[in-house]
Amino acid sequence: MKARVHITLKDGVLDPQGKAIGHALGNLGFDGVNGVRQGKVIELDLAATDRGAAEGQVEQMCRRLLANTVIENYKIELID
């Protein structure tokens, strides 16, 4: 089973990279971009076959290492 973890900065945490991307998009002539927040995607190839077990395992991974919950949110997506 594969899992995809989406990590994004929490609202209210300054995101200078997102700001710079938004600025660059404006320079390229893309109007109407009201905001940009960037983050990262981590893909995991898991041995687990049970969705519940996999989800629990990835949840632990996020809390312990993959995300810094002081500043980041995470969302887990399981792909069979």
Partner 1 sequence: MKAGVIVFPGSNCDRDVMVALEQATGRPPAAIWHRETVLPDLDLVVLPGGFSYGDYLRAGAMAAQSPIMRAVVAHAEAGRHVLGICNGFQIAIEAGLLPGALLRNAGLHFVCRDVWLRVENAATPFTRGYRGGDVIRVPVAHHDGNYFADPETLARLRGEGRVAFRYCAADGDAGERANPNGSADDIAGILNERGNVLGLMPHPERLADPALGGTDGRPMFTALVESFA
Minimum distance from residue 78 beta carbon to partner 1 (Å):
21
Beta strands in the chain (DSSP E): 2-9, 39-45, 72-79
Taking each continuous run of H as one helix and of E as one strand, the counts in the chain are 2, 3
Query: Strand pairing of 39-45 and 2-9?
Result: antiparallel
Summarize as ranges the residues that interact with partner 1 (CB under 8 A): 13-14, 16-17, 20, 64-66, 68, 70-71
Minimum distance from residue 52 beta carbon to partner 1 (Å):
25
Minimum distance from residue 47 beta carbon to partner 1 (Å):
21
